Structures are given as C-alpha cells and as structure tokens.
Amino acid sequence: MSIKIALAGNPNSGKTTLFNALTGSDQYVGNWPGVTVEKKDGRLAGHKDTVLQDLPGIYSLSPYSLEEKVSRNFLVYEKPDAILNIVDGTNIERNLYLSTQLAELGIPMVIAVNMMDIVDKAGDKIDFKKLGKALNCRAIGISAQKSRGCRDAAAEALLVAREGLKSEAPHVFSGSVEHALAHIEESIQGKVPAASIRWCAIKIFERDKEAIEKMGINPKTIEHVEGHIKDCEKELDDDAESIITSQRYEFIQKIVKDCVVKNSKRLKRMSISDKIDRIVTHKILALPIFILSLCAMWWLAVAENGPGTILTDWANDQFLGEDGWHLPFTSHKFKCPEKECENCTADERGENCTCESCRIYTGMEYEEAQEFYAPHEKNIEAWEAAYIEAYNEANKDKEGFEELAEMPEELDEALARTVKADGVRLDDDEETGEAVRGKLKDGCGPCIEVEIAEEDDEDAPELEWTCDWAMYQVSKAVPEVDPSNYGVFIPGISTLLDSMLDKAGVNETVKSLVKDGAWGGVATVLGFVPVILVVFLFLAFLEDCGYMARVAFIMDRLFRKFGLSGKSFIPMIVGKGCGVPAVMAARTIENERDHRMTVILATFIPCGAKTVVIAMFASIFFRDMWWVAALMDIIGIAIIVLGGIALKKSRAFAGEAAPFVMELPSYHLPTPNGIWRHTWTRVKGYVFKAGMIIFPACVFLWLVMHFDWSFTLLADEEIEKSILHDIGSWIAWFFAPLGFGTWQGAAASVSAEIAKEQATATLGIVAQNMQGTSTAAHIKALFGSMSDFPRLAAFSFMVFNLFIPPCMVAIAVTFREMGTKAWGWFAVAFQLFIGYTIALSAYQVGMLICSGVFTFWTILALAIDGFCLWAIFRPARKEIAK
C-alpha cells in the first residue's frame, strides 16, 4: 500500500514549488470525485510507494471558504499518513495559525519552514528545535525555490508516516478553555476517532455546525457540553470562536518570541517589496505602469524587429512554410555543388573553379548571396511579366490566340528585344496591395535603373526602366541561390510534405486536401506559437514575481470609483489565459448580481486563442504599428470598465460593490524553471488544440469549399459553386457594414466560434486562391478584395472577432453560470452587441475620417455610439443608487 503525504500550507507559501521539486516530472493534475477544488498527485522521486498530495492553499481549517472546507474534509476524513506543513518563513506568524490547527488533527506532521534563503538574507534567525518542540513535531528549514533541504523534509515526513509518529497536540489554550475542552473530550470519547478527539472537541467548542454534523454526535451530548462552553464564554467575556482564535494568536506570538530573532536593522528599514509597491501601486502611476507593461509585452510579441516577430517569421516562412532553414551554429559559406568540375575538388574547391556558381558566389555567406541575387530575380520576374503582357497585347487579335500565362520555353526573340517593362506590375504596395509602377530598389545589379517621373513634371521622361533583352539575358545567366550549397539545409515542412506527396504519386485533389486544407490551416495557427510563447512568458513572469496580484489591487481602486469590485477583476486576469476558467473564477463572487455581471464581462479580455488573431493581423496589416495589438487589451479593459458602469446603472445589476480583501505577496525573482513551467502548460494546450480542434475543422472546411451541393468535386476556379461559398454568401450581409461582407469573411467569423484561432486557419484556407506567394499575401489580397480600405476592414474583422461572444465552450459555461437560459441569452446578446458596435464604429467612422465616406451605416454607427455614451454617463436613478 502506498504512503500518502499531504502538503498543506498557506497560499503562496511555496507548496507547488516544493511539490514539483520532490516529484519532478512525474505528476499529473486530476480532479477527485466529489471534491470541488483541484488537488495534485505525484510520486515522490525515488520512492515509488509514496504519493505526495498537494492541497489548495488555505489559511485555516475553519470553514470560511470552499478551499478550507475541502482541505479540512480531506485531512480529517481521508486521513493522509503524514502532513508536510509548508510554512512561509518570511511570514511565520500568520502561517503558524494553520500549523496549530494541523497539529491537533492527530496526524504525524513535519513542519518545513520555506523561503529560508530570503530569511537568511534578511538576517533573521529561526530556532527549529524550539519551534518543533513548541508544536510537538519536527521542524526543518528549506528553500523550495533553491531546492535546499527539500529532500530532508520529505525524508522526515516519510519517516513519521512509516512509523506513525503521531504528535501530541500542543498546549495552546488557557486553563478555562482547556477545562471546557476536557469536559467535551470526555463526553465524546468513543464516539469519534481517538486520534482526532482533540480537534473534534475544539470544533464542538467553536460550534462548527458542519463539523459537528459530520461527526454524527448526538444532539443531547452537544446540549450537555453547551453549559461548559457558555461558562467559558462568560468567564472570558467573548464568544467561543473568538476565544479560540485569539488564544491561538497569543500562543503563536509566544512561539515567535522564543524561536525567531528578527534583524533589528531590517525592521527599521522598508522592505524592497514595500519600496516597489510605493511606485507600482501609486495612485497616479499605477495605471500608466500597468498599461506600459502591457505595451512592453505586445512590443516584444509583435513589433517589427521584436523577438516575437523574428521568431514568427522564421516559423511561418522557414520552419513550417516553403523556405527551409540552415542548421544554426554551422558555417553558411558557399560550397561548390559541381562535383565533376575539374578545378573544383577537395579542399580548394571553388578557388580556381570555372563553374558560374563558384565564379560568383565563392566566399559569400548565404545572406550575402541572396542579397546579390535579389535584383537579378526581380529583373527576371519583371521582364518576364512584361514579356507576357507584350506578347498577349501583340497577339490578341490573331486567330486561335491563347492567352499566355507562363513564360514559354521558346521565346519570340523579335518581341523579346522590344520588351520594356514600363507599366507592368513590379511590386505590390505594402499598404494598399495595388501595383506600383517601376518600383525597383537601389543596387539593382547590372541592368536596372528606375526612373520615376514626378506627376506634375511634364518634361520628365515617361516612366520606364532600361531593362532590355540583353540585360534579361545577363540576369538569367546568374545562377540562382541554392540554399543547399550553404551548409546543412533543412527544407520547410510544407516543402517536405509537398515532395513526399509528389513522390508517393498522390493525385492533385488529395494533395490539395492534405497540403492546403489540413496542413495549411494548422500551419497558419502553429505559425503564431512564438507570439503566444512571448506573451505567456511575459505573463508568467508578471504572475510569478507577484505583479499580477497588484494589478487586481490597482483595478479595485479604479473599479470602486464606479461601484464595481476588484474581485471582478481576478477572473479577468485569469481570462488572459482562457475564457472558460475566467467565467468559472467568477464563482468566488457571492453577490449574484456582481457574479452575473462579471461572467458577462470576463471574456472581453483577449484570451490566448484571441492572441493568435491579434498576432496574425498585427503581423500582416499592422507590422509598423505594434501598439495596435496592445490597444486590443486596452479596449478589452475599457469595455469591462465602461460596460460595468452601464450595467451597474440598470436595475438588474445595481448594488454596492462587494468588499475585496487580498493578500499581496512579496515580490519574488521568478525562477526560469517556474516561468517555463507556467508558459509550457499554456503553450502545450494551444498546440494540442491545433491538433484536436483546428485540424478536423480545417479538413471539414476544405471539403465544403471544394464540393457543391450535389457533392461534385470542384476545380479551384469553381469555388464559387461550393457549399461554403453559398453558406457564407447567405450570411455575408450581416458583415457588410463592418467591411468584410464576403463569403470568406462570414465563413472565418462563424468558424471562429469553434475556437477563436480557427478564424486565422479559415482565412488561410479561404484565401489560398488569392494573389500572392504566401499565406500573408493571400490574406492581404483577400481583404483588398473585400473593401477599398483593407486595413480598416482587417481592423474591423479583428475587433469583431475579439469582442463578440467567446468560443462555444465558453458560451456553454456562460449559460450554465448565468443560472437561467434568459440570462444566458442576455449575456450572449450583450457581447454580440458590443462586438458589432465596436467593429461597425471602427469601420464606418474610420472611413468617414479617412475619406469622408458618409452612408446610412455611418449614421447608425454614430447613433449606437451615442446610445452607449448615454448608458454610461446617465445619472443613476436615486432608488438604484441606494
């Protein structure tokens, strides 16, 4: 039979850190039947027969909160073989309150005083022998974060568990209380387990109804002992529960006085935590600091040269895409591929080689070679495009003319010599997606020089560049840059998949299903893992160092001004990871009105899945405006505050804000391991979701996009007959005022209800027939085809999908938490109204500002905005205010 050791202690005392240190990776998170709060189980490393059970953090065993009830019931009724009580050494007085209660349970116990590294640094001293003696158990100093003393504590707990060394309950109470307890113990002897008789007696003394009920004591016995309790209360002039509490604290004060020597110099100084708090919770600076930290997070994640973007570009183009990548930390210098070249052998390969590649690229790094070849590539592309256009123009009236789409193998030399690239599409404008004439950059190699005429300069030559047949031939003679000649080259997954399918001889339809449907959608989502990684790393750092707890405190100050409680903000911070636990975390709010309001508002904070949508649009449309991503979080918070104000003024949600009490933990320097563990848990969930949800959804979308209603397979150019096209077109009118009223926009928005990141995957699939060579270019072209203002339409699409009702699972939880269907529908309708209003206003007002476009929808947007402002700023009715 395995030995069970329970880890019990105050919240933030380092239980989970100790649990992880002792169990290593051999742990799982599971829900026990019948209990309401999660416990973690893990096997003690090196002891397969020993199970560590991590209980939720609790302050006492008195039933004030759910966690305390659950932990108490577990410790009292499930009876672990031993308790390893984790005590925060930096806050020993408060932590020992629980220790005094645990010592009364009659379960073998070891006290592990944690954070000893901080205690030592502060110059404080703790006498563990005296501490252990006072509580009749063994006490050990540990530092879970530094993995110091953890093994000793576990070994000690294992020893007391194996030998059943039950500690005697410490003498905590005064004579009169002990007298009453002795009477109670006498009355219940034989009716409760002998080991926990002391604990049962104290609970009866405290008149803890739930504990008494569970003990199954005869009411007559309770009546009998009531006289002794009343006598004690009369003597000490207080109620029984307060007597127990105050005498426990008196006992703890005595212990601390005997066992702890505090550094007198430190007591006079302000702690570092206090100094930091003076700035970060400052009444004026707090909010700007919070917004700055959000901006810093998004800058790191999506700014053009930030780590998130660099990694995302690499993931999208090289790792998952078609480019491929070179093995890092190896040489990327050119090596001649011409093995049969007579001068090109052995170590001196390249130096005297006569092959064209060696002549040009010898000594160049991969990036240098790419830079060298780029103008030639542009020259070839531009000239070929010009040739095709000139050919089609010259031959269009001839009989049997077939439009030329690709460069022919045999060129019409006469035509080739006359071709000028004037007026052909050379490059796309980054903002508008429109073709720009003659836009070729400097340093265009041997052949190109662009001469751009000023619009108002009549004497200037016509837009033309001097790329003729001879120059084209020069560029064609330059060998292409083959990445495999520059060190170890690993092709992108798309390329590998492509060649694998080609080698297998798979037909084009199946190839498209696998490559464009299944892989295309999943790759679009996975390509943004780096952004998720950066955001979650940053959040994990803020959480682990203790700043996020301050954010709730800061927001409480802001919320309270408007009649809201900071308690409502805790679920919203939780919601940065996922909306589902955010909605559930609102359960801690006892007031039903505030609970409902919090459920409605909690999902407006963009969750992890919505972060992907933000990342995608930021990288495609707002690359030079990273702050747009941060703006999404700020809009989310603004909706919560303003929506809360508006709702609080209605009869259904009016009422006083609930009090909010929260312990602010000391700032810790987070460990890389802790941050990574937090981040990895979230990223892992995201990656798995791509495999479990996005993958089947993408296959389904590809199928409905490539089949018509009679289930006939359609060619790429027949997509307009597809099922998806029809369904999308039926509902596209709803999105038309928002700027993306096409079947693609409708399909992406509706499919996002499966999971928010599905919007990005769907866009990747439905845009694949658009112009461009990458998913980003396809999506850019798609929005260009939807609206004359592609950036505005993209912004509108993004805010609509961020602020409408969350994914299906979160909606289901919202319905359940709201209590009734009517309230559930109200929540969904409210969220839809907010999302639609913001998108409508952004697009219509944006168009009005950008180009003075004023339509019926502009009037409607302004009218709804006016209504919203009225709902926020109207005076609260007197009876409601009361």
Which residues of this protein are in contact with another protein, per CB under 8 A? 11-12, 16, 29, 31, 36-38, 56-57, 66-67, 501, 504-507, 510, 513-514, 518, 543-544, 548-549, 552, 570-571, 573-574, 577-578, 580-582, 584-585, 587-588, 590, 607-609, 662-663, 665, 678, 681-682, 684-686, 688-689, 691-693, 695-696, 699, 755, 809, 812-813, 816-817, 819
**Cα separations (Å) of 671 from 7, 301, 543, 579, 678?**
21, 21, 12, 27, 11
Min CB(698)–another protein separation in Å: 10
DSSP secondary structure, 189-220, as one string: BTTB-GGGHHHHHHHHHHT-HHHHHHHT--HH
DSSP secondary structure, 22-60, as one string: HHTT-EEEEPPTT--S-EEEEEPTT-TTEEEEEPPP-S-
Min CB(42)–another protein separation in Å: 15
Min CB(545)–another protein separation in Å: 12
Min CB(35)–another protein separation in Å: 9
Q: Measured from the CB atom, is 574 or 765 closer to another protein?
A: 574
Min CB(689)–another protein separation in Å: 5
Q: Measured from the CB atom, is 507 or 710 closer to another protein?
A: 507
Min CB(62)–another protein separation in Å: 16
Backbone φ/ψ region at 336: left (φ over 0), alpha (ψ -120 to 50), beta: beta
Min CB(308)–another protein separation in Å: 17
Helices (H), 527-657: 529-545, 547-561, 569-574, 579-585, 592-602, 608-620, 627-648
CB contact at 8 A, 521 and 764: yes
For 394-544, strand residue ranges (E) read 425-428, 435-437, 450-451, 464-465, 489-490
**Cα separations (Å) of 459 from 165, 203, 400, 439?**
103, 100, 42, 20
Min CB(611)–another protein separation in Å: 9
Q: Measured from the CB atom, is 812 or 881 closer to another protein?
A: 812
Min CB(45)–another protein separation in Å: 22
The Cα–Cα gap between 353 and 356 comes to: 8
Min CB(147)–another protein separation in Å: 20
Q: Measured from the CB atom, is 25 or 773 closer to another protein?
A: 25
Min CB(292)–another protein separation in Å: 20
Q: Measured from the CB atom, is 12 or 221 closer to another protein?
A: 12
> 60-93 in b/e burial notation, b at 16+ Cβ within 10 A?
bbbbeeebbbbbbbbbbeeebbbbbbbbbbbbbe
Q: Measured from the CB atom, is 68 or 104 closer to another protein?
A: 68
Helices (H), 271-403: 272-280, 286-302, 307-313, 356-361, 366-395
The Cα–Cα gap between 22 and 114 comes to: 14
DSSP secondary structure, 659-676, as one string: P-----PPP----HHHHH
Q: Measured from the CB atom, is 64 or 867 closer to another protein?
A: 64
The Cα–Cα gap between 368 and 332 comes to: 10
Place of tokens 């205690």: 119
Q: Measured from the CB atom, is 177 or 580 closer to another protein?
A: 580
Q: Measured from the CB atom, is 346 or 504 closer to another protein?
A: 504
Q: Measured from the CB atom, is 424 or 522 closer to another protein?
A: 522
Taking each helix axis from N to C end, the angle separating 808-818 and 592-602, rounded to the nearest 10 degrees, works out to 170
Helices (H), 303-362: 307-313, 356-361
Integer distance in angstroms from the first to the last C-alpha of the chain?
Answer: 61
Q: Measured from the CB atom, is 384 or 543 closer to another protein?
A: 543
The Cα–Cα gap between 334 and 658 comes to: 69
The Cα–Cα gap between 440 and 427 comes to: 8
Q: What is the DSSP letter of 439?
A: -
Min CB(656)–another protein separation in Å: 20
Q: Measured from the CB atom, is 9 or 846 closer to another protein?
A: 9
Q: Measured from the CB atom, is 39 or 332 closer to another protein?
A: 39
Q: Measured from the CB atom, is 549 or 839 closer to another protein?
A: 549
Q: Measured from the CB atom, is 297 or 355 closer to another protein?
A: 297
Phi, psi of 766 (to 5 degrees): -70, -15
Q: Please, which residues have CB within 8 angstroms of residue 778's CB and are 6 or more apart in sequence?
A: 764, 767, 768, 769, 770, 771, 772
The Cα–Cα gap between 547 and 558 comes to: 17
Helices and strands (H, E) in the chain, number of each type: 40, 15
Min CB(273)–another protein separation in Å: 15
Report residue 207 CA to chain centroid gap. 45
Min CB(695)–another protein separation in Å: 6
Min CB(511)–another protein separation in Å: 8
